[in-house]
Amino acid sequence: MKKKIKHRDSIITSCANIVLPICLVLGVYVVLHGHLSPGGGFQGGVLIAAAAAIIFIAYGDKKLETAFNLKRLKAYENIGALGFVLLGFLGIIYGASFFRNVFHDVGALGKLYSSGTIFWMNFAVGFKVLAGVGFLLIIMVKAMNSDEKEE
């Protein structure tokens, strides 16, 4: 019994090689500049997590499994959530309210690091979302492939 070898279309892989770095850079830009412009941690995290979908479409599930470790992604998601909550508690530690921006006098207005703890909260949300959505995409791909193998 011969195995059917699936060949990926060179146009898809070539386009993925172009789109993947753009998607990653744009996602990082949106996360880092979320407090200055529309967007933020969630939107940037989803853009970065889209890399998992692009890798699957272009290279298949084997390459996706080698590129992303599910246990590590789950740990990263937990680290992002913990970082966000700890940054929220900084307000209480400094004698203000929960999620209070305690480092607001840092940097010049409109510069990258000008919003104090808001910048770091945005970063933590982006980190959590990219790990969580990436994890979900990989789980969906695995479920889809297991359904195909059963047929």
**DSSP string of 100-145, one letter each residue:** ----TTSS-TTSTT-STHHHHHHHHHHHHHHHHHHHHHHHHHHHHH
> Which range (83-87, 120-124, 126-130, 145-149) has the least confidence?
145-149
> Above 60 in pLDDT, residue 2?
no
- In a domain? residue 5: no
- In a domain? residue 1: no
Confidence of residue 150 (pLDDT cuts 50, 70, 90): low
- In a domain? residue 2: no
- In a domain? residue 3: no
Amino acid 60: pLDDT: 85
The reply to whether the predicted model has a pTM over 0.85 is no
Amino acid 1: pLDDT: 44
Number of domains into which the chain is organized: 1
Residues 70-107: pLDDT tens digits? 899 999 999 999 999 999 898 888 888 888 887 766 66
Confidence of residue 144 (pLDDT cuts 50, 70, 90): confident
Amino acid 69: pLDDT: 87
Give the percent of the chain with pLDDT over 70: 86
Task: Print the domain residue range for 63.
Answer: 10-146
> Above 70 in pLDDT, residue 110?
no
Amino acid 5: pLDDT: 53
Q: Which long-range contacts (CB under 8 A, 24 or more apart) does 142-149 make?
A: 142/61, 145/61
- In a domain? residue 58: yes
Q: What amino acid is encoded at 17 in this protein?
A: N
